[in-house]
A and B are shown apart, each in its own frame.
Chain A
Amino acid sequence: MAKLRSLARMIRSKNAGPFELTIDILFADQPTYEWVKESGKLSRELIAGMFQIAPEKVKLFHYDPAYAIKASVPRYTVSGDPDETDVFAGQQYAQLVDLEIPGR
């Protein structure tokens, strides 16, 4: 077992336009990337749970050239709407930081 924070070189979230937000999890090397990718922990269901949306709404990508796992979801509010909590959506990845990834 290892926490995602000890495996990733970057975990971040950001607007992808005012109507979507995207989470990038970047790894420093291929073995670590493959480990986390193959663990299946970073699933559409997990991301859907974080944002309380249906799994079909989650776009999940494995982007091998950058050793990156990426997930995009509709924003919880349109950017800047009256119930906005995070205009840039920069702090919406926190639940992933201590996610436990099963060892190999």
Chain B
Amino acid sequence: MNEMRYISPTGMIGSGFQEASLRRALAADPHFIGCDGGSTDDGPYQLGAGKPMFARQACKRDLRILIGAALEKKIPLLVGSCGGAGGRINLEWTWGIVKEIAHEQGFHFRAAVIDSEPPREYLLKKFREGKIRPLDPAPPLDEKALAGADHVVCMMGVEPFQEALDNGAQVVLAGRSSDTSIFAALPVKHGFDPGLAWHAAKVLECGAAAVTNRFTPDGMLCTLRKDEFILEPANPQMKCTPVSVAAHTLYENADPYLLYEPSGALETHNATYEAVDERRVRVRGSGFRKLPYTLKLEGAKQAGYQSIVIGGVRDPVILGQLDEWLAGMKKRITDRIDSIFGEDMRGKYHMNLRVYGRDGVMGPREPEHGRLAHEICLLLDFLAEDQETAHTMAASGGHIALHHPIPEWHGLISGVAFPYAPHVIDRGPVYRFMLNHVVEPATPMEPFRVDYRTL
């Protein structure tokens, strides 16, 4: 094969794309469609709770159009990190949508569903064998922490995708996968230069993000040849320039020259970017260094339940002594929690008193801490073992905040403006990421299970 063409319709299933752009890209007769389905950007909740970032209806719309396009063109559709985090619950949630689409549209195809959440015993064994290593920075890890995680996923490389395609799957729904593996799987399988294949994949995984002005989520078409790849935005109003494509290697990535993948590292030191015309860019010279095979692990553990109170303060007399007022308030709230739950509760909950208009965004790193706006937003949050406890703390905390006195006003004050009734908001369970580690598998397939399902 001398040339492979492929489309990334958008940066993430559920974020949307223009159907006309997809149709336009399909006219190039692509060999496959790939799409990322997840992100860790919005925190540990997707993995911990098994709930995706984007809503079901939004994901269904994107998947319906993409499955329809793949069947029409008789090409595979590869979806990675299904359901936001790629955990088993996220993956089966996505499968449920796909089944519903097939039923409603009368679609028939063979699907592969790739589980990336290995049995915990497997991971514990690897840990005992010293085959789980920390990246930098990483939280401390021991057997107890690993055993106690709510969900741990392995980020797959190209091999599970390749196996699914070899076994005739037309729609591949993958659990957690590196964003790039989705787009590198087929090119690498067909023997294209790995540096170019992985570099193209890095650009494609964000859809049209590498254009000069991405005014709406949309797609990108890649044409990969022996010694180059060419990028063209699917939307005729969007343009790639050498600078816009080069800049994309920076995005959401700590090092623009070295991008680590399971089987090695993409090296962009010698990559060149050249305009083909006003909208298309040619890339050459990317390298790939083979390294011992490792798979990244992601884990989430429930931290507890949270309840919050949001309020505003406008009184200049209070604002003139904000630090003292808040310190006194915090002491009162702590005492009240002691009086309700007893001293045993100390150390078993976590309280934050945040001030927007002062240092809400940067916290202790705020250099202009002393400069206060004419009004501030006060955010109280409480994290405890169960929702009722967190709620109790927030209800008492909000009430204490509302009436916390200052010396200048005599009698009962109401010093906080609540925009919502009720003013206590229960946020449900919250989670923490607890792994930044890699595992050395015996084979690239070892932690994964491919399940074939026919619709």
A interface list, Cβ under 8 A from B = 14-20, 22, 24, 26, 50-52, 59, 61, 63, 65-68, 70, 72, 74-76, 78-88, 91-92, 94-95
B361 touches A85 (CB 8 A): yes
Given contacts A59-B254, A72-B255, contact A86 B249 (CB under 8 A): no
B252 touches A80 (CB 8 A): no
A18 touches B365 (CB 8 A): no
B42 contacts which of A14, A83, A87 (Cβ < 8 Å)?
A87
A66 contacts which of B44, B250, B253 (Cβ < 8 Å)?
B250
Given contacts A61-B255, A61-B256, contact A66 B249 (CB under 8 A): yes
B45 contacts which of A59, A80, A85, A94 (Cβ < 8 Å)?
A80
B361 touches A19 (CB 8 A): no
Residue B137 interfacial (CB < 8 Å): yes
Extra contacts, 17 of them, besides A18-B433, A22-B254 (Cβ < 8 A), are: A14-B252, A16-B253, A16-B254, A17-B436, A19-B138, A59-B254, A63-B256, A70-B250, A76-B363, A76-B365, A78-B433, A80-B43, A80-B45, A82-B350, A85-B360, A87-B43, A92-B361
- B residues contacting the other copy or chain, number (CB 8 A): 45
Q: Which of B115-123, B239-247, B320-328, B400-408 contacts A (4 or more CB under 8 A)?
A: B239-247
Residue B40 interfacial (CB < 8 Å): yes
Given contacts A22-B253, A72-B255, A82-B303, contact A52 B364 (CB under 8 A): yes
Closest approach, in angstroms, between the C-beta of A25 and any C-beta of chain B? 10
B256 touches A70 (CB 8 A): yes
B43 touches A14 (CB 8 A): no
Residues of B within 8 A of A86 (CB): 361-362
A65 contacts which of B252, B273, B381, B430 (Cβ < 8 Å)?
B273
Residue-wise, chain B 129-166 has the 8 Å CB interface mask toward A (1 for contact) of 00000010111000000000000000000000000000
CA distance A87 to B252 in the complex (A): 13
Residues of A within 8 A of B192 (CB): none
Residue-wise, chain B 418-448 has the 8 Å CB interface mask toward A (1 for contact) of 0000000000001111001000000000000
A80 touches B433 (CB 8 A): yes
Residues of B within 8 A of A61 (CB): 255-257
CA distance A50 to B367 in the complex (A): 8
Given contacts A15-B252, A20-B254, contact A66 B436 (CB under 8 A): no
Residue B60 interfacial (CB < 8 Å): no
CA distance A45 to B365 in the complex (A): 15
| A–B Cβ pairs within 8 angstroms, 7 of them | A17-B40, A24-B247, A66-B256, A80-B43, A82-B350, A84-B43, A92-B361
Closest approach, in angstroms, between the C-beta of B423 and any C-beta of chain A? 21
Residue B216 interfacial (CB < 8 Å): no
Given contacts A16-B252, A16-B254, contact A94 B361 (CB under 8 A): yes
Select from chain B the residue with minimum beta-carbon distance to A95. Answer: B367
Residues of A within 8 A of B265 (CB): none
Select from chain A the residue with minimum beta-carbon distance to B296. Answer: A17
CA distance A80 to B431 in the complex (A): 7
Residue B383 interfacial (CB < 8 Å): yes
A78 touches B250 (CB 8 A): no
CA distance A18 to B153 in the complex (A): 14
CA distance A45 to B120 in the complex (A): 42
B361 touches A68 (CB 8 A): no
Given contacts A26-B247, A70-B250, contact A80 B350 (CB under 8 A): no
Select from chain A the residue with minimum beta-carbon distance to B44. Answer: A80
Residues of A within 8 A of B256 (CB): 61, 63, 66, 68, 70
CA distance A51 to B43 in the complex (A): 20
CA distance A78 to B42 in the complex (A): 12
CA distance A15 to B13 in the complex (A): 20
A85 touches B433 (CB 8 A): no
B247 contacts which of A18, A68, A85 (Cβ < 8 Å)?
A68
Residues of A within 8 A of B273 (CB): 65
B250 touches A19 (CB 8 A): no
